[in-house]
Chain A
Amino acid sequence: MNRRKFTILESTCVPLPLGNVDTDQIIPARFLSATSREGFGKNLFRDWRYDKNGNEIKDFVLNRPEYGGSILVAGSNFGCGSSREHAVWAIADYGFRAVVSDSFADIFRNNALNNGLLPVEIPSGMLSDLTEQIGANPGIIVKIDLERQIISADETGMSVPFAINSFRKQCLLNGLDNVGFLVNMRSRIIEYEKSRGGPG
């Protein structure tokens, strides 16, 4: 089961410069009762995006017409809290393909990578600059080149390398799925179990 490949992404950005955004904000628990992975995007940031009557909250960034695109530029420790992968499904279903921050919560990072959503970690100063520049000019195009591991913007002259381990990178570049990788290892896993005295 192959996924969409991630090679080069060029897009405008949506800034959300808040620290410690937890997965309960990304997708509130009351929307987790589905049994499929689809359709969570409509409730992304639900309680920041809509008031209790379901009307758009005008100044929330997803409702501001000047901002759009498939890169979310977030604050520190993004995706903390609950392990719900629904948070990643919601972000991806909404149309984002990458999230930029200076730090991600551990489980969120894994969940993102397992769904082809690229977490791009850059130094805090760079993140503040980028957020500010997007605020001043929402039309800035940011380019994320996964092969070269560089995030850049021609308009501002930004060009920053980012880290990702080569296994995860190859999976994303080739749209490979990790479950398949492990299933193909089953005979090796059985050998491992025997070495421990059986699966029991």
Chain B
Amino acid sequence: MLFQGLTMEPRTLFDKIWDPHVVKSVEDGPDVLYIDRHYIHEVTSPQAFPGLRQRRIGVFRPEKTTAVADHNIPTTDQHLPIRDAVSRAQVEALADNCRVAGIEYFGIGHHNNGIVHVTGPELGKTLPGMTIVCGDSHTSTHGAFGTIAFGIGTSEVEMVLASQCILQTRPARMRITVNGELSKGVTPKDLILYIISSISTSGAAGYFVEYAGEAIKSLGMEARMTICNMSIEMGARGGLIAPDEITIDYLSRIPSFNRNPEAESLTENWLSLRTDPGAVFDRELEFDASSVPPMITWGTNPGMGMAVDGKIPEADQPGPGGNDSFLKALEYMGFKPGMKLLGHPVDYVFLGSCTNGRIEDLRAFASMVEGRQKAPGVTVLIVPGSQQVARQAEEEGLTEIFKRAGFAMRQPGCSSCLAMNDDKIPPGKYSVSTSNRNFEGRQGPGARTILAGPLAAAAAAVTGRITDPRELIRVCD
């Protein structure tokens, strides 16, 4: 008993990052949590700055905030002023607020511009062990680097600008272990859609998720970002993956990181950031990667997913109001219980977003469309996640592959993922989308979104139908 205090309890990776960031624990209240990196964009920040002005205070640590314009910007003719006056005002407000506060800002057309969750990691601004927030629920993306990263509201953006801290209740801990190996034709997006469809869109509410296991460890950083990105779609506060050699290798290719004289000692610390053996999670789940098929969604939340060649469930859904929500979703989508979607006609395909707008995703899409042609009647939007992704796609010849297959590449932005700009899917049209949400109207009023990975999206783009990407790969072989 005497030595009990000397024995270190095994701890989770999450706690190892959270604890040293607690400035103060409020009794029977939230923790005051220090934030290492704050990202802002034009849609959820403009209402935060006036609060500071009313209080007659400045931004507390402007060097810890990075701003991009991404949500509402057009993805064509970015050299011209934004046509929509309200969107233009919002982007201008962001630029003004940043200029006044001394916040680094990457506006439209800047070589560092892009979707905040794509460009931040590319620039080496997301580093292991950090706490990261942004007024955007897909901030969970950055957890791929072994960070505690999560989305916040505008009041919390104001808190961070005012104090570099937020008030946050410590979430419960969940570990999702994925063993085995993904099959050919199955992407990381399919894996996360599979997990979400297994535990539902609220299955991880109240938890912060650590992804572990050999299938996760074998994934590259882009893939890990795709997985962590969609943590919010099962209700999780965020998701993270322990940093390892793959993380360090990614970072070592970023010029700003290599210039950091402390890179070597930092690296050593980061590699020790991991969950101790025997650490206790509030909930543990296990999945087998080899049983994951290419996935699509059939309903109006990301938990309503199935194998691309599967059947929509029958109308006997559990829970209060379960059947009502189920039938409402099917009515919106124009589907019936028990229906198969393989071969169903598709009107639009969207490759892009903070989920699947990275170079790996463009490569996967290109591998499938190379030597094939865009199907007649399908409109395809290929929107790179950042200027860097666009440049890389050009250098690697992907842009040329797209062109030969009949697709044009647009300029970076959030685009059709939330359709705040002109990239809207018309009412009633079917869109196979590599984005993260199939909510009613998400891609435009009345738009019918079928979420999928980049390979299934490419297969739809060249066939004009819901197609099992494995079938096209077999033809290649």
Contacts and interface: CB of A to CB of B under 8 A. Distances in A.
Given A111-B153, A189-B164, A106 B29 contact: no
B281 interface: no
A110 B43 contact: no
A82 B137 contact: yes
Instruction: State which size class the interface on A falls in.
Output: 35 or more
A39 B32 CA distance: 31
Contact of A34 (B86, B164, B202): B86
What's the dominant secondary structure at chain B's contact region? loop
Nearest to A191: B23
B123 interface: no
A179 B165 CA distance: 10
Interface stretch (B250-258, B352-360, B441-449): B441-449
Contact of A47 (B166, B205, B440): B440
A103 B202 contact: yes
Interface string B286-301: 0000000000000001
A185 B165 contact: yes
Given A85-B153, A110-B152, A167-B29, A189 B440 contact: no
What 6 A-B pairs are tightest by C-beta distance, nearest first?
A: A167-B29, A85-B153, A111-B153, A114-B155, A83-B151, A182-B163
Range for the number of chain B residues in contact with chain A: 35 or more
Contacts of A128: 320
Contact of A37 (B34, B47, B93): B47
A149 interface: no
A30 B32 CA distance: 34
B328 A83 contact: no
Contacts of B345: none
Contacts of B136: 82-83
A118 to B, nearest CB: 15
A92 B27 CA distance: 29
Interface string B143-172: 000000011111110110011111111010
Interface of A: 1, 17-20, 22, 24-25, 28-30, 32-37, 47, 52, 75-77, 80-86, 88, 103, 105-107, 110-111, 114-115, 124, 127-128, 165-168, 178-183, 185-186, 188-189, 192-193, 196, 199-200
5 contacts: A32-B43, A36-B50, A52-B445, A182-B32, A182-B165
B324 A30 contact: no
A37 B153 CA distance: 12
B325 A179 contact: no
B23 A189 contact: yes
Contact of B47 (A24, A35, A81, A185): A35
B418 interface: yes
Nearest to A127: B320
